[in-house]
Amino acid sequence: MKKLLMLMMVAFAAFACQENPDAEVDCPMQTIEIEAEIAVDQTRTQLGTDGLTLLWQPNEEVGVIGKSGRLYKFTTTNTTPTSKATLKGDIAASDSPAYAFYPFTDQVENNVINMELPAVQMQSGSVPQIAGHDLKVGKPKRNQLRQWSCTFTQLMTILRFDILPNGSAFEGATLTSINLTAKDPETIKGVAANVAVDLPTSTVTVDEQTAANNITLTFDENNPTVLNRSKTTKCWITLNPTIIAGTPTVVTLKATTPEGKKIKGVYEFAAKKDFLRGMAYYISMPISQILEAEEDNGEEDEEIDNPNAANHFVDFKLLAANNAGKILPREIRYNPSGKHNYSENSESTLMNSGNSSLPAATEGFTLSVDKEAQTVTGCVPYLFNFKLAPTFTLSEGAKAYVNGVEQVSGQTIVDFTQPVEYTIVSHDGYKRTYTVTITNTGLPVVVLDATPAGNMTWQEAGLKVYAKSYDWNGDEGHVSVYNADGSINVDNALAGYRVRGNTTMGMPKKPFAIKFDSKQAVLGMPKHKRWCLLANWVDRTMIRNTVAFEIAHATDEATGMGWNPHGVNVEVVYGDIHLGNYYLCEQIKIDGNRVDIQDPYEDVRDDYADGKRTDAPSYENCGFLMEFTRSDGIDENYSFITTSRKIGVQFKDDFDNTTDGKAILAKVQANINNIETLLSEKKDYASVKELINAESFVDWWIVHELTMNNEFKHPKSVYMHQDGAGKVVAGPCWDFDYQTFPNPANIKSLYSKEIDPSITKFLYQTPNEKQSLDAYVLGQDKFFYGSHVWYGTNKKSSWGSSTTRYGLFEHAEFKALVKQRWNAIYGKLTAIINRIDTLGAENAVSDSYNSTMWPQSVALSSIKKSWTGYHGDEKMTYEEAIANLKSVYQQRLEWMNTQINAF
C-alpha cells in the first residue's frame, strides 16, 4: 500500500466582554445595531477562501437577550461573507442587550440556551456546513458614543483535516465520510451531544442522555469532495472539546475511487494535551493502514514514518542581520552597576541610584524547539512585521519545506501571522511536521523613527530625543501604529515627538508627547493631532491610569465631566530599540472629539485675523481649559494665584498681552476667584451652584477618592474647563500612575525595610498630615476631600487672618447629590473589579519583558529618598500586583459605599 501524508489542525479562540444590568421597564420598540466583531479570525461562522478565516454570512440569525430577560432575533446586514458584521434587530426602548448567541434558537430559559451539536455533519465540496454548529456567545457593550459592539466567545472546537493524496490509493478518490471515535466510550463522551449554555458564565453542560463518543463528517453526493493530486483538500468537523490527553482516538477515512472501489484509511492517535476551549492544537497523525472496504486481506501497510529518523530542527533563530527593521539590533538591559553622567542636559534623568538600564547589542531571538511535541515557539515582544527570514539548523542531511517550497536558512521569508507548518524531510525520505508559532505580547505596537536626531541624550536607551522644551512643528519624524496582528493602524504619519511630563520626565523611562502633522484616528480612538505615551515607570501594574480612566468613564452618561481620556497599553519601538510597555492615550485638549467646548482664545484670535470667522475673541465665545496646581508648580505662560486658597491656576492654551487678551483672562480669573470666595469664605452654596456644574464636581471627586490619588491634596493635575461665560466644569481626570491605590500595610513594611530612618513624613496619611502611617488604614481613614481644591474645610496660616476655608462638603445639598450620583453608577464601578483581571491578563506577557528592562527595584531605590511615594506592590510579582490592585480597589469601593450611603 502506498504512503499518504495527512495533517490535521484544530484551532479556535475565545474572548469575552462584560456589561452591567439595568432595571426593566416596559416601553415601545427601537431598532439598534450591534457591531459583531471577533478578535481572532478562527471563530466566525463560515470559512473564507483561505481555509482559516471564519466569516459572517448574509442574513445569519443571532439571538439577543435583553437585560429584561426578553429574547430578540437579530440578523446580519452584510450582503457578502465578511469578518465583521453588523447585527440589526428590534428591542424594547427601555431594554438593552445583555447577552448574544449564535446560532439563533428560541430554546432559552433563565439565560440558558439549549442546542444540539449533531453526531453527523456534512460538507459540500470545499464548503463546510459548520454555521449551524459554530456555537458562540457574547456580552454586548456600548462605547462612549453609545454604539453597541459584541465580541463573541467560541464554545466548540473545529478540527481541520488537510489531506494531500499524492501517491496513495486515495488519489482521485471521492470522499464519503470521516469518522472520529473514542476507543474507550466512557473516557471521551460528549464530542457530540445536546448542550445547555449558561450565558452569564459561558458554561457548557452536556446532556448525558445524548452524549456520543463519536462524530461523523459526511459529504454531499451532489457536490462531491474529490482528493486531487498535488492539492490539499480541507475538511472540517465541529465538536465539543472532551478529548483528553493520552486517550486513544481512532479516525476512519472512507472514499470511493474513480473505478468505484470503496477504500478506507484507519489511524489512531493519542492527544498530548487535553482539548480546551480557547486553545489551539496541532496534531500530526499518519495513516497506519489503508484497506479496501470489501477486501481486507490483513496485510501490513508500508510504514510512512520513522520516529528515529533524522528530520528535526536543531535550533531556530530570528536574527537582526537577516530581518532589518523587523528584529532590532539593540535592546535595553538592566545593569546593576551601571552609572551615568547626567550633566549634559538639565532635562536628562534626575533619579539615579547607581544602577541603571543600558542599551546593548543583540543578535536577535532564539526560539524554543520541542522535539517531542514537534513545535517551535517564541515571542518577539514588539513584533509588528510577521514576514521573517528565520535562521535554522536541521538534522544532518535533512531539508525543510513550507507548502512544498524548500526553505533556505536566513533567506526564505515566511509569513508567521498564523502558525506555520514546516515539513522536515530526512536524507532517506522520512517526513516530520513541525508547527512554528511566533507571537508578540498581544499588544499593539507604536513605532517612532529616530531621524532626525533630537537635542537631548537619553542615555538609558542610547537615543538622541527631543526635550520637553523643544519648540516642535509636528513634522520632525514619522509614527506608525500596528495592531497586535501586524495589520497597520497608522501608516508612517508625519509627526513630532518629545519628552513630556513634570516629575516623570526626570525618571529613567521617558514619557513622550506626540504631535501629528494632521489629525489621526489611533486604535479606535477619534481623530486628533495630540497624543501621549505614558511610561508608567513607578507603576508595577502598568494599568493604574487605565483603571482610573475606566472609573471616570463610568460617569460618561452623566451631564457632568463629559469627556475623559481613553488609552491603550502598547509596545513602543524608537528607532532601533524596544522601549517596553507604554500607555498610549488621548492628550487633554479642547476639541470636538475631546473637551468639547468653544475654541481657545488663540484659535479664535487667529481665525478672526485670517478672516475665517467674523466675531473677534471675547469672554463669551472662547473656551478655557485650566489646570489647578500648587502655587509653586506653575509652568505655563499664562496663570494666576487664587485670592482665597492661594491655588495656582494655569491656562493650557495661550493668551497674549493685547488689551482684549488681558481683559478676557481677567474675566476668567475674576470668575474663579468669585466662586472660591463664595464657597470658601461665605459658605454660599446657593450662589456657587449657579456658577459650577455640581454634577461634574461630584464625579471628579468620586474618581479621585476611589483611586486615593495623593495629588488630589497638593493639588496637582487638577483640570477644570469653562465654555465661554458658562459654568465651571470639573475635569477631565489625569495622572494616576503613582501615589494611587495604596496598600498601607505593605507600604509600612516597605518603609521599615527600605526607607532611611531619618524619614518621618508619610504621604499616605490623614488630611492634616500630622498622624503617622498607622493612622491610615483602608476602611477606617476619612476621605481625602481635597482641602485645597474646594471640597473640604481646612485651615492654613498662609491664607491670612481668616484661616478657615470652607468646602463643598459643608453643604447637605452637595452631599445628597454625591449620594444620588454614587448609587446611580455603583453597578458600573463594581464591574471594574473584574475588569482589573482582564487588563492584567492583557499586559502579563508584556510585563515579563518590560520588567527586565525597567525593574521595580530601581524605582524602589529611587523612591526611597524622594517624594514619589510607595504603592506597596513594588516587590510583588506581576500577578501579585494585579491581585493587590484589585483588592485595594474593591476594599475602597465597599468602604466608600458604606460611608456615602450614611450621608
Q: Of the candidates 320, 391, 750, which has an alpha carbon nearest to the alpha carbon of residue 578?
A: 320
Neighbouring CB atoms inside 10 A of 596's CB total: 13
Q: Stretch 673-696: mean pLDDT, rounded? A: 95
pLDDT score recorded for residue 862: 58
No. of helices (H) and no. of strands (E), the chain = 9, 55
pLDDT digits (tens, 9 = 90+) for 93-144: 889 999 999 999 999 999 999 988 888 888 888 776 666 677 889 999 998 8
pLDDT score recorded for residue 121: 85
How many percent of the chain have pLDDT more than 70? 81
**3-state class of 216 per DSSP?**
strand
Q: Check whether 761 has a pLDDT greater than 60.
A: no
pLDDT digits (tens, 9 = 90+) for 787-815: 568 888 877 756 555 578 889 999 999 99
Q: Which residues pair with 624 in a beta bridge?
A: 722
Calculate the average pLDDT of the chain. Answer: 82
Reported as a pLDDT band with limits 50, 70 and 90, residue 350 is very low
Reported as a pLDDT band with limits 50, 70 and 90, residue 582 is very high
pLDDT score recorded for residue 47: 39
Ordered by start, the domain boundaries in the chain are: 5-292, 313-335+364-439, 445-586, 676-721+734-900
More confident residue, 373 or 632: 373
Q: Check whether 765 has a pLDDT greater than 50.
A: no
Q: Check whether 769 has a pLDDT greater than 70.
A: no
Domain range 313-335+364-439, CATH class: mainly beta
Q: Quick one: cell of 554?
A: 463610568
pLDDT score recorded for residue 751: 66
pLDDT digits (tens, 9 = 90+) for 401-413: 999 899 999 999 9
Q: How many Cα atoms within 13 Å fall on the side-chain side of residue 183?
A: 12
Question: Distance (Å, rounded) from C-alpha 282 to C-alpha 373?
Answer: 9
pLDDT score recorded for residue 307: 63
Question: Distance (Å, rounded) from C-alpha 818 to C-alpha 809?
Answer: 10
- Whether residue 539 contacts residue 738, with contact meaning beta carbons closer than 8 Å, is answered with yes
Angle at the Cα of 355 from the Cα atoms of 353 and 358, rounded to 5 degrees: 130
Is the peptide bond preceding residue 444 cis, with omega within 30 degrees of 0?
A: no
Reported as a pLDDT band with limits 50, 70 and 90, residue 295 is very low
Question: Distance (Å, rounded) from C-alpha 402 to C-alpha 397?
Answer: 17
